[in-house]
Structure 1
């Protein structure tokens, strides 16, 4: 085998210019695929990280508690979640950490009754100097201090309530058992995958006062351990709380299934990355044809060499392995160069993007597999042709 590899290297070196030109096609194809895969996987990780709305390394999900009668909790004698609830949840397999969600987290979900159906919306708190109200008015600091039940909503939420947005002003929406009057409609701004803008905004002190949320959080945050599916862990937690939760008989537990959203978006991004990579990989097929053409030319030019080797004892299998080794050496060398170039390009591009790329086992393995397959597929026919050459015909 060592002798075959040495001979393959010498044969490729004798035709250095032709070998380099043949390798260029493979280098371009591999570099294109690796660049797209690296950027795609980096973007996927960045998207999932931002969608979790958590600074934790692992995915976090929130468990909400909605009491059926808020009056029972108004005196602060009853708690939505207890320390015992947290201890029980912490013992569930797949839960790495569990904490109360304080009102300072400013990221809550509420169910709004619209016509005959309920819709889930993000609830936020008013920032008095940053609101862009386009219809009606904004909420004043005085209303916050005096615990007024007023709200402003986004255009999209207003359209869900009534197609005529002007008629929405003055109507009420129920939030956590309290009726809030809509006084303004604002532009939600550039809401995207990485910027979860609230759909409804109310005074923070009003929310804390009427829901008794300041010292009695209505949400807990579950940090899911790696290798566990967040949606399944969230359902386990809810089932456990419905069985032993301290307030299980006075309300319902639920979760905004951000994990399912991230799972779906992750799959879409992954399939999109693979699809674009497959299109870029078409150039690899063209490069493979170039490898086959080079190998056919090499076999034709080295007919006498094949005859000499056969006459001194080389078997057909040795001749076949010789040319297969040349094809593999050519493609694997080009694959390694293409991987390095592709990764460097992805690294350079990511310097101007909000995420970074890093080499991983998947792309390295993919490069190795692709180059081996190209080398074998497009070299096997010329190698077999060389092995089947008739020794008597060659010497004649």
Structure 2
């Protein structure tokens, strides 16, 4: 019997037991679909976070109070950065194009009978340039607003909807911590960055925040939550990090460890890539367990099939079929089940990826490599787990097989 006849006979056998064949494929279908979907969604999550980091602004460096060891041990880090540090970076570091500082606090914002607890961001006029934000309506505050500690506020897009709905908020008065502020502008949609949702935040001049909302607590100047600096270009980021480190060490008169940490977009992207890659691998491995379970299911069903088809095997061997013919037929049946299950599972996985992309912000991607690997592995599983029942069928004695029937 040649290979083509073995394939035809295997196909007829599987079609004669459609329900059993379908149930045998189920484990492979679930395994393949899960592996492909998990890898695609994991890559989509990685792209989503990378886009969020890129939206922070071009060539951004974050200067954060406290060294890395202190930050790991405690969230309550003493603020070691002041507004004068940001001004020094802007004027004394040649590789920096612009800097801004942020002083964050939680306050209740009220407009008429509507109130909400939001993040109040005290910042500088250079915020728009450094963070690559745009004003949708009105204007942003100026150097004059900051020097005079004017009580003006720029609203995030979502906060504007909460407080004003479809009404234009520009020139309206809102209250922040019992102080009246005039709305002068609304930012475009941006989303959250580093855990801060700017769409639901309110931005005020940093001196106004210190004088009216937070208060000054340091004898060395106005403490800030962190400083954000924009390098002149991507090639200047490493040099800017080195120069900022030297400048702040001199300003803070440090001898030992730094009392600040500098983080760049490149560092953040590498960290995100490592974490998301590990999570994707872990999820794919968990999903891959179902492929193994599916292979065991194939072996179990094929062993049952050998028992049920004892008479057929005996008859075929009695009329001249060799052990190799019987072995080949059962292996082909197992591989066909695995490959068809793999293809159906691939369709299910791709469908899940398309659905996730349509219903969520994740740009889940279809990986040709993962599809090829999943289908190849499923075929290999069919071959591996099909060998035991195939060998058992091939080794049946024809006389014993005919008698047992």
The alignment's TM-score, normalised by the length of structure 1, stands at 0.57
| Distance verdict in 2 for CA 1:138–1:181, change over 3 Å | farther
Inter-partner Cα distance in structure 1 for 2:175 and 2:279? 38
How many residue pairs match? The answer is 295
Q: Against the structure 1 CA distance between its residues 237 and 383, is the aligned structure 2 distance closer, same or farther, given a 3 Å change threshold?
A: farther
What CA distance in whole angstroms lies between the structure 2 residues aligned with 1:282 and 1:149? 54
Residue in structure 2 matched with residue 195 of structure 1 by the alignment: none
1:4–1:325 CA contact under 8 A, matched in 2: yes
User: Which residue does the alignment assign to 1:27?
Assistant: 29
Q: Please, which of 323, 346, 349 is the counterpart of residue 342 of structure 1?
A: 349
Q: Does 1:2 align with 2:4?
A: yes
Contact 2:60 2:231 in 1 (8 A): no
Tell me the CA shift for residue 318 of structure 1: 3.0
Is there any run of 5+ residues in structure 2 with no aligned partner, and where? 64-83, 103-121, 128-139, 142-151, 156-173, 184-204, 252-260
**How far did residue 355 of structure 1 move?**
2.4
Moved over 4 A (4+): 60-64, 100-103, 131-141, 171-174, 179-182, 233-239
> Is 1:80 aligned to 2:87, yes or no?
no
Question: Structure 2: how far apart are the matches of 1:358 and 1:181?
Answer: 44
The answer to whether the Cα contact below 8 Å between 2:32 and 2:375 also exists between their aligned partners in 1 is no
Equivalent residue runs for 1:219-258 within 5 Å: 219-222=231-234, 235=238, 256-258=263-265
- Post-superposition shift, 1:330? 0.3
SS in structure 1 at match of 2:234: strand
After TM superposition, list the pairs within 5 Å mapping 1:175-324 onto structure 2. Answer: 180=222, 199=225, 219-222=231-234, 235=238, 256-324=263-331
Distance change (3 Å), C-alpha of 1:173 and 1:375: farther
Paired residue secondary structure (2:360): coil
Q: Against the structure 1 CA distance between its residues 2 and 172, is the aligned structure 2 distance closer, same or farther, given a 3 Å change threshold?
A: same
How much has 1:171 moved relative to structure 2? 4.3
2:215 corresponds in structure 1 to 169
Question: 1:7, CA displacement in angstroms?
Answer: 2.3
> Per-residue deviation at 1:218?
6.9
Aligned partner of residue 379 in structure 1, secondary structure: helix
Q: Is the 8 A contact 2:24 2:297 kept in 1?
A: yes
Counterpart in the other structure of 1:161: none
Is contact 2:41–2:365 with CA below 8 Å preserved after alignment?
A: no
Is the 1:327–1:375 contact (alpha carbons within 8 Å) kept by the matching residues of 2? yes
Residues 67-216 of structure 1 correspond to what in structure 2 (within 5 A)?
Answer: 80-81=94-95, 101=97, 108=100, 125=127, 128-130=152-154, 150=207, 152=209, 169-171=215-217, 180=222, 199=225
Residue number among 43, 46, 64 corresponding to 1:44 in the alignment: 46
Q: Of the candidates 348, 355, 360, which is equivalent to residue 353 of structure 1?
A: 360
Q: Are 1:326 and 2:328 an aligned pair?
A: no
Match of 1:21, SS state, is helix
Q: Matches of 1:318 and 1:236 in 2, distance apart?
A: 71
Residue by residue over 1:104-149, the C-alpha shift from the partner in whole angstroms, topping out at 9 and shown as x without a partner, is xxxx579xxxxxxxxxxx96547542369966979999xxxxxx99
Deviations 1:341-374 (CA, angstroms, capped at 9, x unpaired): 1221231132121122231123202311331233
